[in-house]
Structure 1
Amino acid sequence: MDIKEIWLAVLKKLETDIGLGEVEMWMRPIKPLSIEDETLKLEVPDSMICDTVKDRYEEKIKTVVASLVGRQLKINYFLSVASAETKPVHRAAAVKEEPHSAPVHTSHFAFNPNYTFDTFIEGASNRFAHASARDVAQNPGRSNPFFIYSAPGLGKTHLLHAIANETLKTNPSAHIVYIASETFVNEYIESLQNKTPETFRNKYRKLDCLLLDDIQFLVGKDRSEEEFFHTFNSLSDSKKQIVVTSDRPPKDLLLNQRMVSRFLSGLSVDIKMPDLETRIAILRQKKELHKFSIPDDVITFIAENVRKNIRELEGCLITVGNYCVSMRAQPTIDMVKEVIKDHMTPGDQDEAKISIDAIKAAVSEKYNIDLKDFKSPRKTEAIAFPRQVAMYLSCNLTDKSLPDIGEFFNRDHTTVIFARDKIKQMVLTDPYFNEVINQLIAKIKNVGNSPKG
């Protein structure tokens, strides 16, 4: 199999594993370049796709490739020059030496123009980190080193790009490199193999600003850590800015103590998981960026239930938005719940706790009818329609069987099926009614999840 056939087989397998929509969005734009020196080389159109694929899908890709070629391969990512040159943004000086026909390695790609301080949603969880990063960009070398730590996907990489973009506003000729620690290690090893360590050192020790992502990957790589230590000292002695990120605070890094002490001597900030209001604000911003038509109650539902990190939060929004476009469906809470069920934080939605009595109470208040009317034989529209709404909600929010639901309304299961299908069709075709149903669902769940006593 040649490289193109291998990549097509990878995509086909991933469609089964992660879904066609995810493959079309994140994998299809990637161009396979070659397999050399036990490394699969991939060309990516932009840094956002690169970051997403590395974080979410790289291990799956490696597993599939290994099953096809019979051995484990590393993956190196390269940024397409054509893609980078379509945006009027700056890149590190080393990139300019590359021929235009070749892809640019992602350690020197154009900084993401969407990652700025203005597009970073500020909240209580990240306010200090945001303010400190802006100060570092405006006054390079003053807070040195600048160390940002948090769980994955909470905005560290966004701040690194924002620092670069802001610095280049005031100093367009600044030599800035963003690099992942893993890539730093690989480049150092290559320099040793090629007997060009001085070229490597000159490249990193003559910068105005070094942005090193995920320093924890240096743990256990003693020679690379030693090389970075000397690079750090060289830049620090020259009053050049050093920014480092990690998934843990400096004191918890299993690095040499002299390296840890350097980090502790500077400014360290952490980013926590954003609160609900910040998550909602992030989703609204991303909704506008992607031009999705998603109502606020659905946005709130996603924000309430996806709490692991911002990257996954945005991923869920993109998945929902594309699902609605592809299926030509109105986004409802019930539909969204099914689409993002694998991403919802355990314990957030315990639907067994939602009772049909709670559903009846919410519907009766909405349509101004008595609770006894739900079991009434009356079939007037003013009574029958709210009853159908309550049956539909009972089908979707409880684990009751159709006959059991029917008993709560003095109806048989065929009546429940008719009500369910009728209301479902209205939800899919009437945006206003869809909003009414979503509001009812949110209210019922708030009541069901409120503390007892």
Structure 2
Amino acid sequence: MATSDSSEGQRELWNRVRARLKAGVGEDVFTSWFARLELEEMLEDVVHLSAPTRFLCSWVQSNYADRILEAFRLDTEEVARIQITLRVNGQARPRLAQPAAEPASPSQTAAPAVAATPTPVSQPRLVRDNSAAKGDALAGSAIDPRMTFDSFVGGSANEMALGVARQIAQAVTNNTVSFNPVYIHSTVGLGKSHLLNAIAHQVQQADPTKNIVYLTADHFMYHFIAAVQRQSALGFKDWLRRVDLLLIDDMQFLQGKSATEFGHTLGTLLTGAKQVVVAGDAPPRDLEMLDERIRSRLSGGLVVPISGFDLDLRKAIVQRRAEQSATRYGMHFPAPVIDYIARAVVSHGRDLDGAVNRLVAANQLTGELITVPLAEKRWAT
């Protein structure tokens, strides 16, 4: 294989390939799918690339491997295969993915670092029609069955967001709209996704005929670009506009043409008095990748912040998780341990859950009693 003899030569080759890809697919598609790819190595006839998320690995491997291969072969005809693996903490996993045309057998131990992406069907199947089987309405992105209003712990930091979420669920069930659109924002791990899941659960349980679509921004981009590739973008738009409740999570990751399409869909849904709930990590005005009109439309609805958790809320969350562990495993969390975790873990809710899970694992695996010294040791590691 006529590869470059140095890492510098490979970087120059990769830069040429990136330039060809950008020229071939356009700025928006390049930014969405290629900008975060990195060249790891060129070994024999295989080019090894890495991506920062499993979704990106699967999507690019399934949909653009041939285009990337063509771009490389303009310089190096001996290249026969492109493999894309997950990059963890800045480094790619050392395992080789299977060729796109030869998926690995489930029994193979050296599995690809990314999950296989199902072949897109002619129309997305995220929306329930009245004859659909139970559960289809929540098939957009995975809905976590644990994320309900009952499992959400309220406090001063999130009481407004919780109240609005409950009101939305009730209004959609009663075929009315209270606030529209609703935009919930906070830093990571403070409960935005939990509230979106809880709204979807309550509406679905109250009225299984409702068309509910819950999508992360990544999945919105996936379905829109897949529809464009299948030349069915109009069908995709019509499909989205038939929903009763649209929930979009991780709005900060929406970009390119799919962000523009979201703006069109948002306008149509609002005109038709359909409920839209969006969650992101910053207020709408700070989402610079969105068109000013979309930011204005989101800001013109109800914008609900969730602030950092105070000590009382952190303690309530730890207490709830401890009670759940007591019910499941029969273990006891002494009050001083709950107090220690609430005071020591000040970042966000997921870290509180993680601290409790570490103690549960230590107790189950080693038989150690749950004490403050154990909590100190497990949180420090």
TM-score (norm 1): 0.55
Whole-Å separation in 1 of the counterparts to 2:130 and 2:361: 35
Judging changes above 3 Å, is the alpha-carbon distance between structure 1 residues 183 and 96 closer, same or farther for their aligned structure 2 residues?
Answer: farther
In structure 2, the residue matched to 1:200 is 236
Tell me by how many angstroms 1:178 deviates: 0.9
Pick from 319, 323, 326 the counterpart of residue 288 of structure 1: 323
In structure 2, the residue matched to 1:229 is 263
In structure 1, the residue matched to 2:152 is 120
In structure 1, the residue matched to 2:342 is 303
Judging changes above 3 Å, is the alpha-carbon distance between structure 1 residues 327 and 273 closer, same or farther for their aligned structure 2 residues?
Answer: same
Q: Does the 8 A contact of 2:213 with 2:245 survive in 1?
A: yes
Superposition pairs of residues 9-20 of structure 1, within 5 angstroms:
none
Whole-Å separation in 1 of the counterparts to 2:236 and 2:89: 30
In the alignment, does 2:355 pair up with 1:320? no
In structure 2, the residue matched to 1:175 is 211
- Name the Cα RMSD after superposition: 3.2
**Deviation sequence 1:179-205 (CA, Å, 0-9, x none):** 100111122111112222133223211
In the alignment, does 2:304 pair up with 1:269? yes
Tell me by how many angstroms 1:340 deviates: 1.4
Whole-Å separation in 2 of the counterparts to 1:169 and 1:70: 41
Whole-Å separation in 2 of the counterparts to 1:273 and 1:133: 18
Counterpart of 2:315 in structure 1: which amino acid? I
Counterpart of 1:38 in structure 2: which amino acid? Q
**Deviation sequence 1:198-240 (CA, Å, 0-9, x none):** 332232111000010011111xx32111111111111111111
**Deviation sequence 1:16-56 (CA, Å, 0-9, x none):** xxxxxxxxxxxxxxxxxx9685169xxxxxxxxxxxxxxxx
**Deviation sequence 1:360-387 (CA, Å, 0-9, x none):** xxxxxxxxxxxxxxxxxxxxxxxxxxxx
In structure 1, the residue matched to 2:88 is 60
Q: Does the 8 A contact of 2:141 with 2:216 survive in 1?
A: no
Tell me by how many angstroms 1:114 deviates: 2.7
SS at match of 2:237: helix
Judging changes above 3 Å, is the alpha-carbon distance between structure 1 residues 76 and 135 closer, same or farther for their aligned structure 2 residues?
Answer: farther
Q: Which deviates the most, 238-247 or 157-166?
A: 157-166
**What 5-or-longer segments of structure 1 have no aligned partner?**
1-33, 41-57, 79-90, 343-453
SS at match of 1:340: helix
Tell me by how many angstroms 1:134 deviates: 1.1
Counterpart of 2:61 in structure 1: which amino acid? E
Counterpart of 1:271 in structure 2: which amino acid? I
Q: Does the 8 A contact of 1:178 with 1:210 survive in 2?
A: yes
Q: Which has the larger radius of gyration?
A: 1
Judging changes above 3 Å, is the alpha-carbon distance between structure 1 residues 128 and 214 closer, same or farther for their aligned structure 2 residues?
Answer: same
Counterpart of 1:107 in structure 2: which amino acid? G
Whole-Å separation in 2 of the counterparts to 1:104 and 1:238: 20
SS at match of 1:38: helix
In structure 2, the residue matched to 1:38 is 61
Whole-Å separation in 2 of the counterparts to 1:247 and 1:145: 16
Aligned length: 273
Stretches of 4+ moved more than 4 A in 1?
Answer: 34-37, 61-64, 70-78, 94-98, 103-106
Whole-Å separation in 2 of the counterparts to 1:73 and 1:62: 15
Judging changes above 3 Å, is the alpha-carbon distance between structure 1 residues 104 and 145 closer, same or farther for their aligned structure 2 residues?
Answer: closer
Counterpart of 2:349 in structure 1: which amino acid? I
SS at match of 1:107: coil
Tell me by how many angstroms 1:165 deviates: 1.9
Whole-Å separation in 2 of the counterparts to 1:200 and 1:74: 26
In structure 2, the residue matched to 1:69 is 96
Whole-Å separation in 2 of the counterparts to 1:318 and 1:304: 17
Counterpart of 1:60 in structure 2: which amino acid? V
In structure 1, the residue matched to 2:280 is 246
Q: Does the 8 A contact of 2:184 with 2:192 survive in 1?
A: yes
Counterpart of 1:123 in structure 2: which amino acid? G
TM-score (norm 2): 0.64
> Percent identity over the alignment?
30
Structure number with the bigger relative contact order (C-alpha 8 A, sep ≥ 6) is 2
Structure with the higher fraction of residues in helix conformation: 1
